[in-house]
Structure 1
Amino acid sequence: METQTKQRNSFSGSLGFVLASAGSAVGLGNIWRFPYLAAKDGGGLFLFVYLILALTFGFTLLITEVTIGRKTQESPLTAYKKINPKWGFLGIFSFIVPFLIYPYYCVIGGWVLKYAFSYLAFQGSVAVENGYFGGFITSQWQPIFYTVLFAALSFIIVYKGVEHGIERYSKILMPILVIIVVFIAAYSLFISHTDDSGATRTGLQGAAVYFIPSFKGLTFKGFLTVCLDAMGQLFYSLSIAMGIMIAYGSYMKKEVNLNKSVNQIEIFDTGIALLAGMMIVPAVFVFSGKEGMSAGPGLMFITLPKVFNSLGGIGEFIGLIFFVMVLFAALTSAVSILEAITSSMIDKFKWSRRRSAVVMAASTFVISVIVCLGYNVLYFEQKMPNGSIGQILDILDYLSNNILMPIVSFLTCVLIGWIAKPKTAIDEITRNGERFIRKGLYIVMIKVIAPVLLFVILLTGLGLF
């Protein structure tokens, strides 16, 4: 039986914490959701709003969760009760979120793995055929097979523990991911294409669409939509309200500069998100124009393979390294989600890491299979309160991202801002005499502004705003 002591302060230092946390933050949301929203919401306008919110709203929620973890040395399920005995219920919510997200995240990770294998086998040209993606996800056994492979990779890393599993693999995967992202982003800027009408579009023109703000037809309601999209994206980008940062914070050594580490995560994550946009927006613009960006979630599995196919022989290679990069990003995020629920079992029931990882991986895999079957034998359509229509995967995504995550973050702000008081967090942030430059901003955000914004996000998710 492993002892509780082995589960805490296990990151070797600041670098291990930052890379693991950044790996969690840099996931599928950064790779396809961020570029899609940027293109939809006026390019540079979305980027400007996102950066402002990342430095204020996102920073407040991120540093609060890391602080709760390090202060209590507990996982999300048990940490809130240690802050205030009457708030243990919030830990249950914080556990449910990653428990709901992990199963369908593994399914999507399986989709990425399928495409990576396709390009590895020089079958990228097949991936552009109409109905390829739909045919794959609606088949009964293929999605389950690839989900098993992806989930197994995540399980092995978590099973090995924090320092020898999560930290070690993050130090390998994250540098490789950055190199690939930079390469594809640079390559996208210099491609060009002439369509049937004789019009030529270049990657640099696509970059202009991405970076230069567009105010054409912008209304107050439209600007509000941009702000809500940017706030929603921050949940994906910074792994907020998933219990992840509480778990990772609990593994941070007390002598590590917490504020500096969180700043580094912000910089790393925002940089990758911007580069993801540079990878995708110019390339899609060159071959599909602005209309191509309307693909939304289908952008990565339907539109981009067509872009790679248009590049000729090198397209197979670009497609391969792109999906390998997405696979790395998905894997580092999946590992952090599984770790959040695994650590909760360790702290709540005093189980060993091995037992906790096996139980959580097995129970969530059952849900993953149900999600896969939701596109064939268990197929049905459900309309959500916000007007969206979807299957089992979409329902789990809606419940976790539109309802539970805003509730968790809202109540966390109430707990730290009004019940335990901001001093509880600030004392932990500055425990080694560190300077907290954004202290005043933090107090205002945690007490007033962040709760209001989160309440608006919740109302929007419920279709009431």
Structure 2
Amino acid sequence: MGNNTNQAPQQWNSRFGYIMVAAGAAIGLGNIWKFPYLAYQGGGGIFLIVYIIVIALMAHPMVEMETAIGRHSASDTVTCFERINKKWGFIGWIANICTWMINMYYVVVGGWVLKYAVQYIISGDFGEDKQAYFNNFTSSTVEPIIWALVILVFVSIMLLFGITNIVEKLTKFIMPLLFVFLIVCGIWALFVTDNAMEGLKFYLLPDFSKFSFSVFAKAATQVLFSVGIGWGIYETLGANIPKENNLKSDAILVSICDTGAAILAGFVIIPSAFAGGVDVQSGPGLVFLVMTGIFGKLPGGRIIGCCFFLALIFAVISSLFTFFEISTRTFEDNCKMGRKKATVVTALIIGIGNIIVSLGFGVLSGVKLPWIDATGISHLGLYDWLDTFTGYILLPLGCWLVCVFVAKIWGFKNYEKELTNDGKYGKLSLYDKILTIVVVPAFMVIVILNVFGFIQ
């Protein structure tokens, strides 16, 4: 693209292409790796209900607001705020910092997924002790870094050609395939395994006695991470959307795709774990430790394991395209770098972080960072600290700031004009304004108060 940063961003080749890239950004490890174990820890059915409510009341309006800001300014995450008000570019820098931190562990876990996918294709053999296999691999010094760098390099090379070119074409292929793989895995889990219906009942039938602020905060944080709101994704993607597109319907489609992927992942993992007699509270190691054990014991396990981990690696890569693009576009436009230099700088920052976080599961496992809350000072490992800081502080802060920006700085009249194409697609209702001014900020306050231990 050269060093000319004043050119208008290239627009999406089709609305379907944009929806698939946006859904690909939203559908990733958050849905398939993180959602199922949080759903289990949160009480199954009650967590699912809270999650869906939060999607409707928070995710959908946030996707609309962030996308409208991006399309209005047609630039990177920092500049899109500065073009409306020069003093508010800091929101974009917070989003970039948050994205860098998430990428520092997201790519590492993505490397684990790639390793397991390849292992399933080669042999499907993870030894008798799945725990030992997982621990030996993740704690080793070199191999996890190599797998992470493979993903880092692949995503960076694809982005050299621009997110609206090869990436859009690739994502239009892999996202439908992802849903096919998840549906196949879900059918297998429900109809081939024994005792799966008990898991399904736990997953779908709510126990309202298990509701708490903690469950709500986990669901809300999972929505932030899973849908990708509060950290610049939709400002970045919105910059390429044609003016004639209906942002309101696009936001609905993206939210539905993301929620559908998360619910499908729950259908696969929770019934499978019940069928295998495994405790789903294995947490972050669930996919790698528990699922390999289950697939190894049940009929057709290797085939379904291949499908599952291929679906997961597709989800990882489709997300990283946009995650990397946030910083690349910021360096390219706001910092006046060419596309190639911006891509390399982004890759270097993330790559250094990947090495440190990966070593944090091995030789640097003794390194702990302080975390202060109402109960005092605790110490977290590198991954846990990054996950907590980004998920429970930076993402809620980003959402809260966007709400303030839309309501007080940009103004509802200007926002409505962009969102509805000058009234072509309806108006901004009082309900929409209440969500922006009251509901979403209140949700974010609950999340932050919960992580600091002030409400449980």
Calculate the TM-score normalised by the size of structure 2: 0.94
Judging changes above 3 Å, is the alpha-carbon distance between structure 1 residues 282 and 233 closer, same or farther for their aligned structure 2 residues?
same
1:335 equivalent in structure 2? 321
Distance (whole Å) between structure 1 residues aligned to residue 205 and residue 283 of structure 2:
20
Separation in structure 2 between the aligned mates of residue 185 and residue 6 of structure 1, nearest angstrom? 45
Select which of 350, 366, 387 maps to 1:397. 387
1:48-101 deviation per Cα after TM superposition (whole angstroms, max 9, x unaligned)? 221121111111211111111001112112211122222122221121111211
Shift in Å, 1:236: 1.5
Q: Distance in 1 between the 2:78 and 2:136 partners?
A: 39
Residue aligning to 1:454: 444
CA contact 2:213–2:450 (8 Å) conserved in 1: no
Looking at structure 2, the residues matched to 131 and 58 of structure 1 have their Cα atoms a distance apart, in angstroms, of 39
Distance 1:97 1:395, change over 3 A: same
Q: What amino acid sits opposite 1:446 in the alignment?
A: T
Query: Map of 1:16-415 to 2, 5 A cutoff?
Result: 16-126=17-127, 128-193=129-194, 201=195, 203-215=196-208, 217-218=209-210, 222-288=211-277, 292-312=279-299, 314-379=300-365, 380-385=367-372, 389-415=379-405
Separation of aligned partners in 1, 2:234 and 2:186: 28
Change (3 A) 1:78 1:462: farther
Structure 2: tracts of 5 or more residues without a match: none
1:315-348 deviation digits (Å, cap 9, x = unpaired): 1111111111100001111111100000111111
Instruction: State the AA in 2 paired with 1:85.
Output: K
Shift of 1:155: 1.0
CA offsets 1:143-188 (integer angstroms, 9 cap, x no match): 1111111111211221121221321111011011011011101111
In the alignment, what sits opposite 1:197? none
Q: CA contact under 8 A between 1:255 and 1:432: conserved in structure 2?
A: no
CA distance in 2, matches of 1:396, 1:225: 19
Describe the superposition over 1:173-211 as per-residue Cα deviations: whole angstroms up to 9, x where unpaired: 101101101110111101334xxxxxxx2x223212111
Contact preservation (8 Å) 2:24, 2:175: yes
Whether contact under 8 Å (2:416, 2:427) holds in the other structure is no
**Change over 3 Å in CA distance of 1:189–1:59 after alignment to 2:** same
Give the whole-Å Cα distance in 1 for the aligned partners of 2:394 and 2:65. Answer: 18
Whole-angstrom CA distance in 2 between matches of 1:438 and 1:124 = 56
Gaps of 5+ in 1: 194-200
Distance 1:287 1:166 in 2: 38
The change in CA–CA distance for 1:182 and 1:389 in structure 2 (over 3 A counts) is farther
| In 1: Cα distance, 2:432 partner to 2:139 partner | 47
- Contact 1:191 1:286 (8 Å CA) reproduced: no
Percent identity over paired residues: 31
Structure 1 residue matching 2:372: 3-state secondary structure = coil
CA RMSD of aligned residues (A): 1.9
Q: Work out whether residues 58 and 238 of structure 1, in 8 Å CA contact, stay in contact via their aligned partners in 2.
A: yes
Q: Is the 8 A contact 2:57 2:439 kept in 1?
A: no
Cα offsets for 1:288-332 (capped at 9, x unmatched): 25xx121111111111111101115x2111111111110000111
Letter in 2 for 1:99: W
2:252 maps to a residue whose letter is: N
Which is further off, 368-377 or 3-12?
Answer: 3-12
Letter in 2 for 1:124: D
Q: Deviations over 1:2-54 (max 9, x none)?
A: 54465614211311111000000001010022112222223222222211211
Alpha-carbon contact 1:403-1:462 (below 8 Å) kept: no
2:427 maps to 1:441: no
